[in-house]
Structure 1
Amino acid sequence: MSDSDPEKTQEYGYSKEKGYQEPGHGYGQGPALVTEDHGADSELQRRLSTRHITMIALGSSIGMGLWLGSGLSLASGGPAGIFIGYLLSGSMIWSVSHSIGEMAVMYPLPSAFVQWTNKFVDPAAGFTLGWAYWFSFWITIANELQGVVTVLGFWTDAVPTAAWISIFWVVIICINIGAVNVFGEIEVICSMIKFGWIFVVIISCIVISAGGAPNESAIGFRYWNSTPFINGFKGFLSVMPTCIFAMSGSENAGLVAAETANPRKSVPKAVGSIWLRLSLFYIMGSLMVTITVSPTDPNLFGGEGTNASPFVIAYRNAGIPAMAHIMNAIILISVLSTGSISGYAGSRTLVGLSQIGMAPKQMRKADSWGRPWYGLVPTLVIGGGLAYLNVSNTGSTVFGWFSNLTSLCTLFGWGMICLSHIRMRRAWKVQGRSKEDLPWRTWTWPWGAYWGLFWCVLLIIAEFYLSVWPLGEPTTAKNFFANYVSVVAIIVIYIAAKIYYRDRRWVDTATVDLDAGRRFYKAEEVCTTKLEVTMCGYG
């Protein structure tokens, strides 16, 4: 195909800026443009495949929040409280993921939702979201490292807490300083282990609940019948930060898209796997906890005993010690995996902020292996250093602090993703573009985006109530700021950014440049199967 080919020029509409543009090919996949990435380039390298992004999407958020935090939630909210909490949180991230899918295919940018917010909502909001999310990523690293201490405490307490933190901090650093495809392969292996083990957990817990274990008679829904809710409505609200924290990280599929060879092929598959993760890991996983472990068991994480995972307790109480040890090992792998993904995501967030002039320009640089050192080093150093808070405080106390801080940042991020999607669709419509021209469309539009945004706003308000009147604690300034300081910080940063940018209004959807930062696809990238190629007219 040459620039002077008049037949092709007439058919596709050639321009030096955009190459050959094909009209919509008739079944909703929109234009395919033969060109390089338009404005989405950085020094990061596209070394990740569909397999990488799909497995990272499946297992990226399976860490301490589910395996350990569900015990804390069970004790404070009861069986029905934790189950409903995961159902609600699951519906939210399902909606958010579909919004991510539609935007990540068209705008696969290094910090994804940060740059989308800057583009479609408000530069001040994008600035606030970027730094708030970076803040939450290194908090997550710290939380996962202190989770390692709790997990290993099941086997031995002879090793000092600081030593365990130091050892596994180095492990997370080593995973992140390899080439990005090495990071991807490690996460694929971890995700496969977690994904395979959940089937074992579901089947074995059903057997235990039915009375098939050596030391347990039939349990069934005994705990649902006796204590479905604990601490009433306030107990249910106290469950939500842990549920949100457990599912935080699911949005990382949007960040990974910037280093994926063909987001048009990879991202929809990752989004399509969301229902599997939600149903198997969270909803079924939380249900298994409620039918095998008593919410009053003193050994639950946050209790007075061993502070173990409820899944470990279920196997130990059932008289299956071997399964308890295997479960604890799986939790260790999960915690390390989630910590390493947070290091990856935090560094890429800084790259994206730098691209839009909201962070030092050095942070956008990467070496020949695609490693953004100026983003990686501060993320890993601060996150690991913060984990040493666990040396002088109990694991459950530190977990409570960090979960509340991270979950509120996550709610803000999820809300901005949904709002960016709503604004992007509005801009698309206002500027007279057809929805058929979108590279990929989610079938959840518009209700999915509005559903996610509604619950994000409502839960941030509900957590304010819980911060003023905390469960089992007096109303004090210390308790309020320990639980709600991230929202206070977000408000302060937003006001400061608004003053700096001197812009009182949001971005005008009628004038936003819809092609800046957009990925334009070749025909073979849009039409990925033989049937699609034929329907596109290339077969």
Structure 2
Amino acid sequence: MLPVDSSSHLKRGLKKRQVNMLAIAGAIGTGLIIGSGQGLARGGPASLLIAYSITGAIIYFVMTAMGEMSAFLPMDQGFSGYADRFVDPALGFATGWNYFFKYAIVLANNLTAAGLIIQYWRPDLNVAIWITVFAVVIIAINVLHVGSFGESEFVLSVIKIATLLMVMMTCLVIALGGGPSKERLGFRYWNKPGAFAEYLQPGPLGKFLGFWACMVQSCFAYTGTEVVGAAFGETPNPRRNIPRAVQQTLWRICVFYIVGVFLLGMVIPHDNDRLVGATKAKTSAAASPYVIAIQLAGISVLPDIINGCLLVFVISAANTDIYVGARTLYSLAKSHQAPAIFVRTTGNGVPIYGVAATSAFALLAYLNVAKSTSTVFGYFVSLVTVFGTLNWISILVSYIQFTKGVKAQGISISDMPYRGPLQPYGAYFALITTALIIFFNGYNAFMPSFRVSTFMTCYIGVFVYLVNIFAWKFFYKTKMVTAQNMDLITDRKRFEEVEEEETPSEPSRVRKLIQKMKMGKH
């Protein structure tokens, strides 16, 4: 590999409002506004609400764990960097490549979804045209200064939030009898057809399987919520702004995810023919359960508007895919787990070779142009979907080891810039629950009869993840990091020096007083 250019670094060019908006809406995508319909059809409104609440707790603990590590040690190597330093370089290797391939392949899926949404209005135009147009646009955004990415995501996120608030308020109005039919729905659909749906099997077993289907779907909807963590390396004043970004995650979980599916379950019955059919449809407004609820209420104007807003959702997601993929390759290269060329940046701090490598995966989107290859691509995307959940595992394991290192080295809690609520107990809860979800993810492969393709789709990602860990350990003879030998100094001290340089306007007397206080603590 080429020698690493130590002068290449990411720039802290993201503004506070951009980081906060990325935390609020960065990962909100089609998994919530479209995929939630599948969960409702399989599990019913009560199962969907419970599942989204449990998974919301998981992701909140994941985010507070990530925030605690990032505020204490503001590294620019992301999730894999913490796994590498706190657990084992083998886990860092597996985490980084797992995260890269997830976003690289999902990039092609999001570009295809953008083309399909346009076909809602222009079915006569080939999807390949729009794949090319949108690919060029988002690649150009990512090649420019990181501020260009931050500003574009800020604008797109504002539109996403406005869209969700619009559909949620519409559902509330419909439930209260404000629709054209003037019919007050309330909790009618919780009574009939029922709060819990049966899936694959009749009776209580079917209702439990329906709930578990909602758990799996909610994980996929939340996957990517931790994406703001990839931006921590380019966040100014991370010890102040990272905790704020983490707190924004809690608001997003409560408002957009939990309240959103609660309102959805009030206005559409889980056994409605349109809902069941839409879960098998292509990505467009017709597949969104919110649109189906609006159509059932007799409102005819909003579907076109929401379809346009869905276009914003997938473009934003594709834009983020390139950003995260490039930064992941950068962090892997800094850890000598990827070719060193990926650590090189432009004068603006953009890892240009990482952007190019990630963007190349956009070519996979053209597989969807032909029906024969689109089936293969569909399987390919499903194989790596579980990687997102595995990344939560990596973050939580890294954090648990980090807390052990902090305790073993006698670092006081008062020295921590940010401390997550209920931690580290919340991390153990999230780790165990996520592991159970991954383990039982493929239960439907055995019902009503065993299907090899479904089984492989659900578990091949886990197999690849484990192979990467053990292969790296075997070839490079890595050892687990002990709590006593864990490096909790390097980036912490380097950042304190940088922070001192970045505050020249502060009166020198105050700076000296702060420095004395810091020395007193140590």
TM-score class, shorter-chain normalisation, is 0.7 to 0.9
TM-aligned CA deviation for residue 316 of structure 1: 2.5
Q: Tell me the amino acid that sits aligned with residue 170 of structure 2.
A: S
CA distance in 2, matches of 1:401, 1:385: 10
CA distance in 1, matches of 2:179, 2:348: 50
TM-aligned CA deviation for residue 120 of structure 1: 0.6
CA distance in 1, matches of 2:266, 2:415: 49
> Are 1:490 and 2:469 counterparts?
no
Residue-pair matches, total:
493
Q: 1:187 to 1:296 in 2, by over 3 A?
A: same
The share of aligned pairs that are identical, in percent, is 34
Contact 1:53 1:256 in 2 (8 A): yes
TM-aligned CA deviation for residue 181 of structure 1: 0.1
2:196 aligns with 229
> Are 1:432 and 2:410 counterparts?
yes
Runs (5+) with no aligned partner, structure 1? 1-38
Match for 1:102 among 60, 68, 87? 68
> Are 1:43 and 2:9 counterparts?
yes
2:367 aligns with 388
CA distance in 2, matches of 1:121, 1:256: 22
Contact 1:124 1:498 in 2 (8 A): yes
Q: Tell me the amino acid that sits aligned with residue 412 of structure 1.
A: L
Matched ranges for 1:177-216 at <5 A = 177-215=143-181
Moved more, 182-191 or 210-219: 210-219
1:241 aligns with 216
Match for 2:425 among 401, 424, 447? 447
1:34 aligns with none
Contact 1:145 1:384 in 2 (8 A): no
> Are 1:302 and 2:279 counterparts?
yes
Q: Tell me the amino acid that sits aligned with residue 229 of structure 1.
A: F
Match for 2:351 among 369, 372, 376? 372
Q: 1:42 to 1:434 in 2, by over 3 A?
A: farther
Q: 1:78 to 1:165 in 2, by over 3 A?
A: farther
CA distance in 2, matches of 1:171, 1:298: 38
TM-aligned CA deviation for residue 44 of structure 1: 1.6
TM-aligned CA deviation for residue 487 of structure 1: 0.8
Q: Tell me the amino acid that sits aligned with residue 513 of structure 1.
A: D
> Are 1:517 and 2:488 counterparts?
no
1:347 aligns with 326
Moved more, 292-301 or 388-397: 388-397
Question: 3-state DSSP class of the match of 1:295?
Answer: coil
Contact 2:13 2:235 in 1 (8 A): yes
Match for 1:409 among 387, 404, 416? 387
Q: Normalising by structure 2, what TM-score?
A: 0.87
Q: 1:304 to 1:108 in 2, by over 3 A?
A: closer
2:308 aligns with 329
Q: Tell me the amino acid that sits aligned with residue 469 of structure 1.
A: F
TM-aligned CA deviation for residue 510 of structure 1: 0.8
TM-aligned CA deviation for residue 480 of structure 1: 1.1
Runs (5+) with no aligned partner, structure 2? 200-206, 518-522
Q: 1:57 to 1:304 in 2, by over 3 A?
A: closer
TM-aligned CA deviation for residue 524 of structure 1: 9.5
TM-aligned CA deviation for residue 383 of structure 1: 4.1
Moved more, 97-106 or 70-79: 70-79
Q: 1:311 to 1:171 in 2, by over 3 A?
A: farther
TM-aligned CA deviation for residue 507 of structure 1: 1.1
TM-aligned CA deviation for residue 201 of structure 1: 2.2
Question: 3-state DSSP class of the match of 1:499?
Answer: helix
Question: 3-state DSSP class of the match of 2:287?
Answer: coil
Moved more, 321-330 or 331-340: 321-330
TM-aligned CA deviation for residue 400 of structure 1: 8.1
Q: 1:142 to 1:241 in 2, by over 3 A?
A: farther
TM-aligned CA deviation for residue 268 of structure 1: 0.8
Q: 1:192 to 1:100 in 2, by over 3 A?
A: same
2:256 aligns with 281
2:440 aligns with 462
Q: 1:136 to 1:263 in 2, by over 3 A?
A: same
Contact 1:64 1:147 in 2 (8 A): no
Contact 2:368 2:377 in 1 (8 A): yes
2:137 aligns with 171
TM-aligned CA deviation for residue 381 of structure 1: 1.6
Q: Normalising by structure 1, what TM-score?
A: 0.84
TM-aligned CA deviation for residue 325 of structure 1: 2.0
Coordinate RMSD, CA, aligned? 3.0
CA distance in 2, matches of 1:254, 1:314: 34
Q: Tell me the amino acid that sits aligned with residue 256 of structure 2.
A: F
2:95 aligns with 129
TM-aligned CA deviation for residue 75 of structure 1: 1.9
Q: 1:262 to 1:42 in 2, by over 3 A?
A: farther
Give the structure with the higher percent helix: 2
TM-aligned CA deviation for residue 318 of structure 1: 2.1
TM-aligned CA deviation for residue 95 of structure 1: 0.4
